[in-house]
Structure 1
């Protein structure tokens, strides 16, 4: 049977059409500590259906007007059965540009979805910006990206996204999804992950400096930190520290925070 909404290549759409996978993703959130859930890229609503069974206020957001119209019609509170959610709304909007305070004020909310591959990393970066309001985040990415976000130091896949996400969240790679459960099937496998905000996610260093240090270090990841961080014009006294003999993938998140603290102190002397 064909999908009720046509997948659009320019939006990076691959519609999930497997009920078991959709239900598994719907159960990746704990639904604790928040009353609102935002689903990004609901497409034909195969995941939406399972989220509507949960006792939360659900908002589905899509940049595809055809999808929005279909969801509004197909999942209207008046016509759909098995709806347990406190409320349901569908928005035609771009998550990356939308001011979410219009939806949630300063309340806590979770994010989930089958994310378009072409904007998935940007979705994570925006989530990090809004971390004070997002205690939990789950979703489907290209497998390689999901693995990278959850990767630990010592791996070639470990990078900017790994460090920044894990500075604020505990990251878990949950399961792999084959291309066969999508229409049209992507050329790669997908992976589902969960980010759970740490109880104490304060950095105790200058946040902007931390982001700069991490990004600068990995932009020249084959070089030692002594070479890749030259633009900071650090003192000779600091540059002899053993940590600068290492390459960025050798540093844990905690070590990056320690490095930032050293640089912060050096720059204020």
Structure 2
């Protein structure tokens, strides 16, 4: 059945407050799974089961799908859709409250999801900070948000960009038109792949580092020197030591340089 038919059968009206824009084109879900290169040994965690269109496609290829859905109104729909699927495990709970440590013994763990925009940042934070080691995460976001995650400099570059790139490399997989969803959202989407990069988080305290980055970005239109001068004595001296022009703006400084600056400042207990 089509997405619209499933929803009509169970008289389900989608809630804007839950960010419910359900994928309605099975060709898109098939392409996502194809590009994900899932194999029969993979355990996939999905966030936001929705009507199950992506879940169904993942289950055809993976060893197991562990999927989380916050909206219990979808329970009868999903129970019918997956009654014969032995490798689909549905949790009707808020993923943000889930205990991810219980997945620590899974050897080939991956994430795939179409994430509601309003909790995109919080889901990324939870996975990077709490998840056991995983092979990759493939997520669909609103296009503008996705571009912020990939940005290396300039206008779209932000503490969010730095946070994500501290944990992972980010690559674009594909664009998805807004016309592939019910109801049709106002913007198009993009699918990104996150490949874990553990070297930075082994060198620094990620949470403390991000506090520092937020200080650096406290006033985007100010220079990095002005943003730090009330916090760090002789800010210009330390910026120069790591070859940062004190007149640079926060969005002009790459991640690796921020890490260098943070390591030097934290080693001298200047914050």
Q: TM-score, normalised by structure 1?
A: 0.87
The answer to whether the 8 Å contact 1:148/1:159 transfers is yes
Separation (CA, whole Å) in 1 of partners of 2:254 and 2:40: 29
The 5 Å alignment of 1:88-103 reads: 88-102=88-102
Unaligned runs of 5+ in 1: 81-85
Task: Assess if the C-alpha contact under 8 Å between 2:178 and 2:187 holds in 1.
Answer: yes
Question: Could you tell me how far apart the structure 2 residues matched to 1:165 and 1:33 are?
Answer: 29
Report the Cα distance in structure 2 between the residues aligned to 1:94 and 1:132, rounded to whole angstroms.
Answer: 18
Q: How far 1:131 moved relative to its partner?
A: 5.2
Aligned residue among 54, 58, 73 for 2:61: 54
The residue correspondences of 1:30-41 to structure 2 (distance < 5 A) are 30-31=37-38, 35-41=42-48
Within 1, Cα distance between the matches of 2:239 and 2:90? 56
List per-residue Cα deviations over 1:231-265 (Å, max 9, x = no partner).
53334673562523321111111111111112112
Asked if residue 247 in structure 1 is aligned to residue 246 in structure 2, the reply is no
Asked whether the equivalents of residues 228 and 235 of structure 2 are also in contact (C-alpha less than 8 Å), the reply is no
Counterpart-to-counterpart distance in 2, 1:229 and 1:130:
30
Q: Is the 8 A contact 1:17 1:182 kept in 2?
A: yes
Structure 2 vs 1, CA of residues 236 and 171 (structure 1 numbering), >3 Å: closer, same or farther?
A: closer
Counterpart check, 1:110 vs 2:117: no
The equivalent residue for 1:265 is: 267
Residues 129, 30 of structure 1: alpha-carbon distance in 2 compared, 3 angstrom cutoff: farther
* In 1: Cα distance, 2:166 partner to 2:149 partner: 11
Q: How do 1:138-157 residues align onto structure 2 when only pairs under 5 Å count?
A: 138-153=138-153, 155-157=154-156
Question: CA separation of 1:184/1:121 partners in 2, compared to 1, >3 Å: closer, same or farther?
Answer: same
Show CA shifts across 1:173-202 (max 9, x none): 222111111110001111111101126454
**Structure with higher helix content:** 2
| Number of aligned residue pairs | 260
Q: 1:201 to 1:257 in 2, by over 3 A?
A: closer
Q: What root-mean-square deviation, in Å, do the aligned CA atoms of Structure 1 and Structure 2 show?
A: 2.4
- The reply on whether 1:208 has 2:207 as its aligned counterpart is yes
Q: Could you state the TM-score of these two structures normalised by the residue count of structure 2? A: 0.86
* 1:63 CA drift (Å): 0.6
Q: Check whether the contact 2:116–2:141 (CA below 8 A) recurs between aligned residues.
A: yes
Higher relative CO (Cα under 8 Å, sequence separation at least 6) belongs to 1
Selected match of 1:66 from 61, 73, 84: 73
Whole-Å Cα distance in 2 between the matches of residues 50 and 135 of structure 1? 19
CA–CA separation in structure 2 for the residues paired with 1:258 and 1:230: 18
- Do the aligned partners of residues 185 and 72 (structure 1) sit closer, same or farther apart at CA in structure 2, a change above 3 Å counting? same
Q: Is the 8 A contact 2:178 2:188 kept in 1?
A: yes
CA–CA distance in structure 1, aligned partners of residues 41 and 163 of structure 2: 23
Cα distance, 1:268 vs structure 2: 5.9
